[in-house]
């Protein structure tokens, strides 16, 4: 009998089993920007695809545009060579046809049409030139791919322009575009005073057009990501994952000063950021400082998803957009890598009584952890716990805050090892408070018991009953399960009981075929 959506409960039927959803796999997108030309090929779970291939060339098409009104000649050569290569690579990956989008430099340059014609002649690729408002919409859609239900203001900076877009309830609202790209600002005469005046005047105009009611700010673009990396360096932040990295208004002011106090060479040595990107960071930091001062957001988040992901989102039917990217990615990983695909859902149901008072936000992370509990089984046993932690905290996952990454990673660590004492992971674990650390340890030990109790679905062998006020954990077993509850299983169960600070009882279930 075929499973229905209801049968899957809180998970929903996995979309990668749906052929229409899988049609979105191996999708190739090229973004021809003012500073870089990048090709990304997406694959994996349809709602939360992985980066099957990702290559960038810092061509600098928009360098010098403010003075000449034309594309940079050297940039044209480099961009064309990159596009020829990308087309050949896409053919070899079965990722054709490529979707190619060009933004500010190509759309505004006098020789933009000539460049597009040359690209088509050499590669057969048609280049879709988007205006500023459309660029803003696509970038905003990229944010929504990573954060379903996101709301606030998306700010996307490129080499030659900066776009703003409001998002709310799965829709893109008001959109505006400006010339605040750092390549464009390089062409302003009169030194830093004139640059700051131009930034202030333009941001004031943007504020008047789009309004001030935007308490959350999403930052999209390579220059913003470079600033975030420097913010991490200044703070000594231990988790160098930029997606969903949070900054405060005061922190941004401090980082802008930090940038002003260091040379590009010093900052490159700290971060490994390329020369071409780092050269734009000082100007971009002045723009960000003014945006934050004027728009006054309370919450500032980095989004690694932008126009390329927005193009993928464009191709998704609404039913696919509505799915949870975290759960879909974890389901895909389980299907691909676990020893017993499908066991994660059964494990979640078995452990659920322990977490019945947790809210939906936490239960979502517990589901994801259960799905991932076995995907690193091929790692060396001595390092499997660390591999699990690294997989959760550093994986390309959407819809996951940094604290949620660390919580899930810590739970998966304890799925394979009781102790983490003295490990290299302590600095990252410190992003959680003591209560969250304890909850992650309980989840990990619960998965450790439930996963090794039997290769069968644990719910068919017994059930857990948790009485938090009495601090009592009961394990009710079928007669058949009593034979499986050997000394190793008993040890794992007692480890869970210890983590809960509880007493335990083991009882026999009546009224079952085995009982």
Of 83, 11, 1, which Cα lies nearest the Cα of 45? 11
First to last CA, the chain: 27
pLDDT of amino acid 483:
84
Q: Token pair for residue 5?
A: 């959506």
* Residues 6 or more apart in contact with residue 73 via CB below 8 angstroms: none
Under a CB-based contact definition with an 8 Å cutoff, are residues 12 and 5 in contact? Answer: yes
Q: Residue 511 and residue 145: Cα distance in Å, rounded?
A: 48
pLDDT of amino acid 3:
39
In eight-state DSSP terms, residue 353 is: G
Q: Which spans in 373-432 are helix H?
A: 384-394, 402-416, 426-429
Under a CB-based contact definition with an 8 Å cutoff, are residues 306 and 142 in contact? Answer: yes
* C-alpha to C-alpha distances, 196 to 250, 289, 294, nearest whole angstrom: 19, 10, 14
Q: E strand or H helix at 113, and its extent?
A: helix 112-123
Q: Token pair for residue 387?
A: 């591999």
- Residue 467 main-chain phi, psi, to 5 deg: -120, 90
Q: Token pair for residue 134?
A: 């459309």
Per-residue pLDDT of the chain (515 residues; tens, 9 = 90+): 333 344 445 555 554 555 555 555 688 999 999 999 999 999 877 788 888 999 999 999 999 998 999 999 999 999 999 999 999 999 999 988 899 999 999 999 999 999 999 999 999 999 999 999 999 999 999 999 988 889 999 999 999 999 999 999 889 999 999 999 999 999 899 999 999 999 999 999 999 999 877 889 999 999 999 999 999 999 999 999 999 999 999 999 999 999 999 999 999 999 999 999 999 999 999 999 999 999 999 999 999 999 999 988 988 888 888 889 999 999 999 999 999 999 999 999 999 999 999 999 999 999 999 999 999 999 999 999 999 999 999 988 888 999 999 999 999 999 999 888 777 899 999 999 999 999 999 999 999 999 988 777 888 888 999 999 999 999 999 988 888 888 999 999 999 999 999 999 999 887 554 43
pLDDT of amino acid 5:
40
* Residues 6 or more apart in contact with residue 411 via CB below 8 angstroms: 366, 369, 440, 441, 443, 444, 447
Q: Residue 164 and residue 141: Cα distance in Å, rounded?
A: 12
């Amino acid at each position: 009998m075929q499973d229905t959506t209801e049968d899957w409960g809180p998970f929903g039927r996995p979309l990668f089993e749906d052929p229409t959803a899988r049609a979105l796999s191996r999708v190739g997108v090229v973004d021809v920007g003012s500073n870089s030309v990048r090709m990304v090929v997406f694959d994996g779970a349809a709602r939360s695809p992985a980066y099957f291939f990702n290559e960038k060339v810092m061509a600098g098409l928009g360098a010098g545009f403010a003075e000449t009104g034309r594309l940079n000649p050297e940039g044209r050569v480099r961009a064309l060579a990159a596009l020829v290569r990308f087309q050949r690579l896409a053919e070899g990956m079965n990722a054709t046809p490529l979707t190619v989008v060009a933004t500010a430099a190509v759309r505004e340059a006098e020789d933009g049409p000539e460049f597009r014609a040359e690209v088509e002649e050499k590669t057969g690729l048609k280049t879709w030139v988007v205006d500023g408002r459309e660029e803003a919409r696509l970038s905003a859609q990229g944010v929504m791919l990573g954060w379903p239900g996101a709301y606030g203001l998306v700010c996307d900076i490129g080499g030659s322009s900066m776009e703003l877009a409001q998002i709310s309830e799965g829709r893109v609202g008001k959109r505006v575009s400006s010339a605040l790209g750092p390549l464009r600002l390089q062409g302003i005469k009169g030194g830093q005073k004139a640059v700051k005046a131009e930034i202030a005047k333009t941001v004031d105009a943007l504020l008047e057009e789009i309004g001030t009611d935007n308490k959350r700010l999403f930052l999209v673009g390579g220059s913003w990501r470079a600033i975030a990396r420097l913010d991490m360096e200044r703070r000594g932040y231990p988790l160098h994952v930029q997606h969903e990295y949070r900054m405060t208004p005061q922190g941004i002011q401090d980082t802008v000063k930090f940038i002003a106090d260091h040379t590009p060479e010093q900052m490159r040595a700290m971060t490994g950021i390329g020369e071409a990107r780092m050269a734009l960071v000082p100007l971009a930091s002045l723009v960000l400082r003014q945006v934050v001062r004027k728009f006054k957001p309370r919450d500032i988040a980095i989004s690694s998803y932008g126009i390329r992901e927005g193009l993928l989102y464009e191709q998704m039917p609404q039913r696919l957009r509505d799915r949870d990217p975290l759960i879909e990615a974890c389901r895909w990983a389980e299907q691909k890598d676990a020893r017993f695909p499908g066991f994660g859902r059964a494990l979640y149901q078995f452990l659920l009584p322990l977490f019945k008072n947790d809210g939906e936000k936490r239960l979502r992370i517990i589901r994801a952890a259960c799905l991932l509990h076995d995907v690193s089984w091929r790692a060396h046993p001595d390092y499997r716990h660390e591999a699990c932690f690294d997989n959760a905290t550093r994986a390309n996952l959407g819809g996951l805050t940094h604290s949620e990454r660390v919580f899930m990673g810590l739970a998966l660590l304890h799925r394979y090892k009781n102790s983490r004492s003295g490990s290299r992971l302590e600095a990252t674990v410190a992003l959680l408070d003591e209560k969250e650390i304890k909850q992650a340890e309980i989840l990990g030990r619960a998965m450790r018991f439930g996963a090794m109790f039997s290769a069968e679905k644990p719910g068919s062998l017994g059930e857990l009953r948790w009485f938090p006020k009495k601090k009592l954990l009961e394990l009710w077993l079928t007669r058949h399960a009593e034979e499986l509850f050997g000394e190793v299983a008993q040890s794992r169960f007692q480890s869970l009981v210890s983590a809960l600070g509880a007493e335990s009882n083991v009882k026999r279930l009546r009224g079952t075929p085995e009982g």
